[in-house]
Amino acid sequence: MNSTFATHEALLQSGIINADETTVSDINPERIGVMIATGVGGLETLEGQIEVQLNKGSKRVSPFLVPMMMSNAASANISMRYKFQGPCETVITACASSTHSIGNAARLIATGRCDVMVAGGAEAPLTATGIAAFRNMTALSTTDVSMPFDAHRDGFIIAEGAATLVLEDMEHAKTRGATILGIIMGAASSADAHHITAPAPNGIGALTCMQLALDDANLSPQDIVHINAHGTSTPLNDAAEAEAVSKLFSSNRPPVTSIKGAIGHALGAAGAIEAVACILTNQKRTIPPTIGLKQLDPEFDMDVVKDEPREFTPGNIISNSFGFGGHNGSLIIGPSI
């Protein structure tokens, strides 16, 4: 349901719908698509119905289990609710899911298939089984504190939530008088092809993905003014990302932050939430500090914002998401015009 609320707010703000949802902006519904990502889907529904089967028998399992737990339910429900008849798809690439969703949605607009795309991610993994699984694979912090890039980091704090962006062709948005909050300058996806949970050595996958995003945006590392890091607070992932950042931005050290120290790691929804954070960072002209970071790992050659927010001049921000399975995603988000 959190994806429905996030999408309702985004569509209202965009002017695509009115408050009563009965009037839709004069856009061909066949040219409005939906792409809401998730990492694990309806875990709570599945877990609850397994308990029903065990305690009450198979005949008591809800016939709504499948449509409620299926990972594409969020995209389908939004499409049906607002009668959007364009592409309706779901990306499932672990913690890179919603970053890939936004990038893929932007390409559907860039290639002329759609005028508008509703894109983002949603996750609700806070169930007993979900938490136990992440804890038993030693991904969660034993101290219950997220410390991105800290010398004493030992895992992430699991979170849930949703974020939705309304993407639109620039000229189309200008013609209807839409308020433009930011610009998707480029996006990229790559695979580590290395390990089901551990990142590729030396951060080569992350490095490749960021470079591909720069190429897609026709930008150089010197054009990036801020990095919204994946920064999960896990030992290997932070180390790989830090090495990739220091190599790619060796002659330009843009300030880095991870908002996961403040809000936790929302898995498949994290990239969309952080894309919103990038837009707000440009709007507020302020980079938020990396909460939880006390002592930067001495192995990391990065300018990580800590302790206090930092004022800066808005510009192109790169936002990273790296997921289990070796999925890498990077978005470059520019300020509004």
Query: Both 198 and 167 in a single domain?
Result: no
> How many domains are there within the chain?
2
Query: Both 214 and 168 in a single domain?
Result: no
100, 265, 278, 327: the active-site residue = 265
pLDDT of the residue at 23: 61
Secondary structure of 155-171 in HEC code, one letter for each residue:
CECECCEEEEEEEECHH
Query: Both 192 and 299 in a single domain?
Result: yes
Q: Give pLDDT tens digits for 255-301.
A: 999 999 999 999 999 999 999 999 999 999 999 999 999 999 999 99
pLDDT of the residue at 101: 98
Query: Both 161 and 210 in a single domain?
Result: no
100, 114, 209, 230: the active-site residue = 230
Query: Both 19 and 105 in a single domain?
Result: yes
DSSP string computed for 218-272: T--GGGEEEEE----S-HHHHHHHHHHHHHHTTT----EE-THHHH-B-GGGHHH
For 337, counting Cβ atoms within 10 Å of its Cβ (0-12 exposed, 13-18 middle, 19+ buried), the class is: exposed
Please check whether residue 181 is in contact with residue 283, taking contact to mean a CB–CB distance below 8 angstroms: yes
Query: Both 56 and 188 in a single domain?
Result: no
Give the domain CATH number at 240: 3.40.47.10
Query: Both 125 and 252 in a single domain?
Result: no
Query: Both 92 and 188 in a single domain?
Result: no
Contacts of 266 (CB under 8 A, 6+ apart): 121, 123, 159, 160, 161, 273
- Spell out where 92-151 has E strands: 116-123
Query: Both 105 and 223 in a single domain?
Result: no
pLDDT of the residue at 1: 57
Q: Tell me whether residue 230 is one of the annotated catalytic residues.
A: yes
Note down the domain range covering 57.
2-147+153-175
Query: Both 240 and 105 in a single domain?
Result: no
pLDDT of the residue at 77: 95
Query: Both 162 and 23 in a single domain?
Result: yes
State mean pLDDT over 92-121.
Answer: 98
Query: Both 129 and 211 in a single domain?
Result: no
C-alpha closest to that of 45 among 23, 30, 67: 67
**Integer-rounded Cα radius of gyration of the chain:** 20
The per-residue pLDDT of the chain, averaged, comes to 95
Contacts of 267 (CB under 8 A, 6+ apart): 39, 40, 94, 95, 97, 123, 125, 158, 160
C-alpha closest to that of 213 among 116, 103, 303: 103
pLDDT of the residue at 251: 85
pLDDT reading at 148 higher than 80: yes
Confidence tier at 2 by pLDDT (50, 70, 90): confident
Please check whether residue 108 is in contact with residue 33, taking contact to mean a CB–CB distance below 8 angstroms: yes
Q: Give pLDDT tens digits for 21-49.
A: 766 678 999 999 999 999 998 889 999 99
Q: Tell me whether residue 265 is one of the annotated catalytic residues.
A: yes
Whose structure tokens read 């410390």?
Answer: 147
95, 114, 209, 278: the active-site residue = 95
